[in-house]
Amino acid sequence: METHTGMQSPKGVWWKRAHPTERMWVAIAFGWCMVLFAMMPLWHFKGGQNPAGVRYRVKPADYMRRTQEFIAAHKVGTDQGIPIVEPPAGSDIYLIGLSFAWHPILKLRQGTEYTLHLSSLDVNHGFSLYPMNINFQVVPGYDYGLRVTPTEAGDLRIVCNEFCGIGHHTMVGRVIVTDSAGREVAVADRAEITREVAP
Ligand code: CUA
């Protein structure tokens, strides 16, 4: 009987040349890896997915104060106790994420540029604009100023896409985008949409 220890090489075929088809597949896999590797920097410049804006450090209390000033200056109504704010074109607009709501409701105009400030007063939240394909992390202690231009009128929902606690699934906010003449388009059934995005 043959004894075997870890000091002896096991019998194998590693010294034989790989079969041509295996070598071909390794070459294809390597080539594909290089394509994916190249896509990372390419997409960074060509993908149109990078946030346009600036980032600052901010104390939550200061951010809260700025947002309250912003609300007081441009408030046009309320919806279920949450202020609706219609800021002038080109202005700095403020949105707070805190467990488990978004403040205030922004009323924006299609085709108009704003600088959207996003920050959280407590934990990480995720800003996801339904039904558009927009995602952004909302982080306490940082104010992200994003340059945004609404491209379509509608009554949109902000859905929190970062798990933030027991009420995470109820953290739904609202953004109203009026058409370029400032008119609101048909308002969707709020309960219906809330059910759709937060089952
Ligand atoms: Cu806020 Cu999840």
Span 152-171, pLDDT tens digits: 888 999 999 999 999 999 99
Residue 111 Cα to ligand 1 midpoint, Å, equals 29
Residue 13 Cα to ligand 1 midpoint, Å, equals 55
* Contact (Cβ atoms closer than 8 angstroms) between residue 152 and residue 177: yes
CA distance 52 to 133: 16
Look up tokens 């200056």; give the residue. 73
Start-end of H helices in 47-177? 60-74
Q: What is the mean pLDDT of residues 82-99?
A: 94
Residue 188 Cα to ligand 1 midpoint, Å, equals 23
Give pLDDT, residue 49: 72
Collect all residues with Cβ–Cβ distance below 8 Å to 139 and sequence separation of at least 6.
Answer: 119, 120, 124
Q: What is the pLDDT of residues 20-71, one digit of tens each?
A: 999 999 999 999 999 999 999 998 888 777 777 778 899 999 999 999 999 9
Residues of the chain above pLDDT 70, percent:
90
Give pLDDT, residue 3: 66
> Which is the closest atom of ligand 1 to the Cα of 161?
2
> Which is the closest atom of ligand 1 to the Cα of 168?
2
Cis preceding-peptide flag for 104 (omega within 30 of 0): yes
Pocket of ligand 1 (CB under 6 A): 100, 125, 160, 162-164, 168, 171
Q: What is the dihedral of CA 133, 136, 138, 139, to 10 degrees?
A: 160
Residue 159 Cα to ligand 1 midpoint, Å, equals 8
CA distance 139 to 144: 9
Look up tokens 């590693």; give the residue. 14
Mean pLDDT score across all residues of the chain: 87
Edge-to-edge order in the sheet of strand 105-109: 75-79, 82-85, 105-109, 172-178, 154-160, 125-130, 135-138
